[in-house]
Amino acid sequence: MEQITFRGKQIAFFDNQVESHDLPIVFIHGFLEDSRLWDEWLPLLPARRYIRVDLPGSGSSELLENMNIEIMADAVAAVVEHLGLQRLILTGHSMGGYVALAFAEKWGDKLAGLCLFHSHPFADSEEKKESRLKAIDFIHKNGHVIYVRQTIPQLFIYDFSKGYQSEVNRLIHNAVHFNPEGIIAALNVMRNRRDRSDVLRNIQCPVLMLIGKHDTAVPLDISMAMTTLPSQGIIHVFPTVGHMGMFSASRETAKAFREFLSVI
């Protein structure tokens, strides 16, 4: 794992440093996750250069002051600049997709492709904003460990949470070691982010949208509402998947991603 200094804090990332004539791919994890999210999924993809960033306040990256989605995107951009990447493919899971769209808004000219992996461009509804405040209050009262243990299994649909218990346990094990202030900050970041439908509507590169039919974090109606926005959209809906398709449909999502790479 490597680190750079951004706004006086350490931002961690993995770079496999594979030499390839193909474009590098930058991966951004979601909420209660870090760069280890992709460990078992990446071997299903072609051999090429992959960079995985720990967002501020997650994994081995330090929490930034006054954080918002734009600052998170700036942190990713700082890693991109540090590595000298002029052109890349960007992939974001869940909250990572929100960050990816904020990146695209500023540095869209760098993107040859964008993948929204169980994510979307819309702002939180009032109901969702309220649920994030309740989550913050719960963490303050009960601690982040209980919150993590309750939240992560819900990202898998019920039968799959039993079938993929090792993955659930590993995600929980990783997240309980996060700074609880980082978890609270991420909840506020997501709650306060603005709608970026315009970014997706005006983006100039192909956009892959990987959608779980049973995703409770990003309901199907929200996912489908974004599919008409990009002019070069590629849509895959997985009928037995919740919010964690890289585990519950690893081969199917990897196949869709490989096909996406072949057209860029």
Distance CA 210, CA 256 (A): 8
pLDDT beyond 90 at 174: yes
Domain ranges of the chain: 2-123+194-262
Do 242 and 115 contact (CB within 8 A), yes or no? no
Which of helix, strand or coil describes residue 66? coil
- List phi, psi (to 5°) of 234: -120, 120
pTM as predicted: 0.96
pLDDT beyond 70 at 82: yes
**More confident of the two residues 158 and 127:** 127
Which class would CATH give 2-123+194-262? Answer: alpha beta
| pLDDT of amino acid 162 | 56
* Mean pLDDT confidence for 63-83: 97
| pLDDT of amino acid 19 | 87
* 8-state DSSP, 125: P
Do 251 and 44 contact (CB within 8 A), yes or no? yes
Say what percent of the chain tops pLDDT 70. Answer: 97
| pLDDT of amino acid 158 | 61
Distance CA 196, CA 177 (A): 31
Report which residue type is found at 126: E
| pLDDT of amino acid 127 | 97
* Mean pLDDT confidence for 154-169: 74
Residue 230, classified by CB atoms within 10 Å of its CB into exposed (0-12), middle (13-18) or buried (19+), is buried
